[in-house]
Amino acid sequence: MASRGGFSSRLGFIAAAAGSAVGLGNIWGFPYEVGQGGGAAFVVMYLIFCFILCYPVMVTEIAIGRKTEKNPVGAFNALGFKKWNFVGKMGIFSGFLILSFYNVIAGWAFGYIFEMAAGNFGIADQFGEFVKDVFKVGAYGLLFMGTTAYVVSKGVSGGIEKAAKFLMPTLIIMILALVVYSLTLPNAMDGLKFYLVPDFSEINAEVVTSALGQAFFSLSLGMGALITYGSYVNKKENIVSAAAFITLADVGIAVIAGMMIFPLIGFMSGGSMDGVGSGPALIFVTLPQIFGTIGGTLGAIAGTVFFVLLCFAALTSTVSLLEVPVAYVVDEHKVVRKRAVWIVAGLIYLIGIPSLLGNGYSDFFTNFITYPGAEGATDFLSFIANVANDSFLPLGGCLIVFFAAHVWKKHNLDEELANGAPNYKGSFVQKYLNFAIGYLAPTILAFIFVVTV
């Protein structure tokens, strides 16, 4: 363990794993998916998936990581099931895809720090121009990837732990303050109604898959990120309660981010909720407005601080995304850590270029694919995000829990979970986890996968 580095404390692991979970997925992804998925009915599906399906997957990933002290491919080998390491390979591939588009969005958020600092609240109307300026936003993205690579090259403990412990609570306080503020705006209640009062007729196969994909993406599951982080965890850690805390924190932050955004959309649309389904652009066109209504220096300061915090939240997530392939290359191919980091980061940046170009700069990537029955074309970034989040992650999660329960076997998993959790054996939680990991999660995930593919 010592040679790979490990988290220095109990809080360190929880902070880093929560840092991985909390990111753009909560503040950018969740509101836009809710907007496209018809509102509160999507939220209900999402909550069910997070607690019933994803929590058991999270426990399993961390346990496999801690047991083997390996990356997602090495973990399957170490347990003696080499044939299963394709699941780890698939996870690494998903990580490549996700980081490639995630970094583009992070670059936008990074650019917004300067726009807010300059008091340019009108950026909301110029967003299309902003993302089309690929040399500028591409440079922001390059800086973001560089920072991620630098942090990962230093090793996972230390920097990440410290930053996450301080910045996450600050972000929560800031969002809560904005929730209170946005609720005072005219027509805020129309937004709140859209967000909190479910209309179950909105639920269809597409909404179910997006809610499932969003749950996996937001909790950093299905690609071995938490196998990797788990590999640095101490045997004294109580995985069952740590995972519960991480799930609650992540879901909690997504839910309050929605409380901040939807009242604001109610306000901006005069109560009609027009524009709520606008997709990945959603927070970038709505958030500047909240700071615009505050106005002046105070608005500029609030906007700047907000996007700085959002970038830190994104950074703790990009770090975990990059750590997965890096741990693999370092462990399995014996490449020196520093070198592995810069090569992999560079490669992923290049893979992200079509996602960068597909926001108005290149026609080809902007109108990349037209789904049957869809109104318009889908851009490259959204296409990759859909494939990775809605298909690869749930499929990966399904295979991981199936493997743990039926190939590695439940009693081995239980043995690992009991380390650091003296009351685990014989508890209700154990019974539930056994049921969920053995039957519920693999069945539901496989079913949804088959129905929707």
Give dist(CA 62, CA 392) in Å, integer. 19
- Cβ 29 to ligand PFF shortest distance, Å: 6
- Cβ 439 to ligand PFF shortest distance, Å: 25
Q: What angle do CA 254, 292, 252 make, to 5 degrees?
A: 10
Query: How far apart, in Å, are the Cα atoms of 34 and each of 195, 203, 262?
Result: 8, 12, 10
State the helix-helix crossing angle for 205-218 and 441-452, rounded to 10 degrees: 130
- Residue with the shortest CB distance to ligand PFF: 25
Alpha helices in 154-238 (DSSP H): 159-183, 188-196, 205-218, 225-230
Cα dihedral 258, 260, 265, 267 sign: positive
Dmax over CA atoms of the chain, in Å, equals: 62
Residues near ligand PFF, by CB under 6 A: 20-21, 23-26, 98, 217-218, 220, 223, 225, 317, 320-321
Residue 105, both tokens: 């969005």
Give dist(CA 279, CA 227) in Å, integer. 31
- Cβ 167 to ligand PFF shortest distance, Å: 14
Question: Nearer Cβ to ligand PFF, position 220 or 304?
Answer: 220
State the helix-helix crossing angle for 393-402 and 85-117, rounded to 10 degrees: 140
Contacts of 211 (CB under 8 A, 6+ apart): 33, 37, 42, 45, 46, 49
Question: Nearer Cβ to ligand PFF, position 21 or 239?
Answer: 21
